[in-house]
Amino acid sequence: MKIIVTGGAGFIGSHLSFELEQAGHEVVVLDLALSRWHDLRYPEIADTHFDEHADADLCVHLAAKVGRLFGEEDPMETVTDNVGMAALVAQACGIRGIRLAYASTSEVYGDNAETICEEYMGPFTLPHNLYGISKWFGEKVCEHFAPEKLVIFRFSMPYGPGLPAGRGRAAIVNMLHQALHGKRIPVHRGSERSWCYVTDTVRAARLALELEEGGIYNVGRDDAAVSMLYVAEYACYLAGADEKLIQEIDAPKMQTVVKRLATERIRSLSWEPEIELEEGMERTLEWVKTLDAQGTVAA
């Protein structure tokens, strides 16, 4: 297949593009990090690119503003990026007959404590942060403009090489970076996650895309729940840091403390995760060692 990947230079996008290319697909990457002419928030730019690649079989729309904290800081930008841009991409795909896959998030489910969230039951509660709200609305505009065999991925807790550290970034990368640099490691009391190493995440996505059918998929793990306190302790172990750096704090408002997702649909495609948490954290630490003290890629 010829596949357009928006946000293809980002964390999941770069790994997914590689996964698709390794499987023999032709990949076209559109990403604002590569050129300002890839800014798909502008209709004329979106139309130009989709006209150029009107022969594409599929578009995977990953470009977005990601994360709870970043989502709240600039509400207008969050809605523009996660709803407006999704609408333009979906409309462009619908007009040209290009099948669409939309990258959503498990945050659309809101906070349901121990309840297991299944794809076709919808959110049990409303999303409780703007990031989740915007991605839920993004799903709806994609269903409106490009419903034919639409795929929706609700990604949950991917991690691995390629992510920077710092405020609002993924907890595993942050904890490894904090341990490596002797910084305080805050941990939310009672928080629990099932982390999914990024190569497992993108392999699951590829299997769903190659099925060439529509559907909603939770993409993550349901079999490896661990406390974030354990993650922090293991980060200290790997970095040779003192566990006294760990400080338990109450979870902030709009933070989902425990996530429980059903993964039967993605596992029905013969997908099984291969990288366990400890191995994944070891691999991620090698990436984190390339970051500077501020959490960005060292020159």
pLDDT at position 256, please? 78
pLDDT at position 260, please? 87
Nearest to 82 by CA among 147, 6, 11, 30: 6
DSSP string, 233-256: HHHHHHHT--GGGEEEEPPPTT--
Structure tokens at 236: 């200290």
Report how far apart the first and last C-alpha atoms of the chain are (Å, whole number): 37
d(CA 185, CA 68): 19
pLDDT at position 93, please? 98
Interval 92-132: pLDDT, tens: 999 999 999 999 999 999 887 778 889 986 656 778 899 99
Contact (CB, 8 A) for 164 and 291: yes
Interval 279-288: pLDDT, tens: 999 999 999 9
Query: Looking at the DSSP assignment, which residues form a beta bridge with residue 2?
Result: 26
Contact (CB, 8 A) for 58 and 98: yes
Query: Looking at the DSSP assignment, which residues form a beta bridge with residue 246?
Result: 185
What is the CATH code of the structural domain delimited by 2-158+196-219? 3.40.50.720
Contact (CB, 8 A) for 66 and 77: no
d(CA 28, CA 201): 20
Question: Angle formed by the axes of helices 277-288 and 171-180, to 10°?
Answer: 60
Domain segments of the chain as ranges: 2-158+196-219, 159-193+223-259+275-288
Q: What is the mean pLDDT of residues 159-169?
A: 89
H or E stretch including 103?
A: strand 99-105
| Superfamily covering domain 159-193+223-259+275-288 | UDP-galactose 4-epimerase, domain 1 (3.90.25.10)
Q: What is the pTM of this model?
A: 0.94
- Lowest pLDDT segment from 158-167, 174-183, 239-248, 267-276: 158-167
Share of the chain above pLDDT 90, in %: 79
d(CA 3, CA 282): 32
pLDDT for residue 142 is more than 90? yes
Nearest to 14 by CA among 63, 49, 77, 55: 63
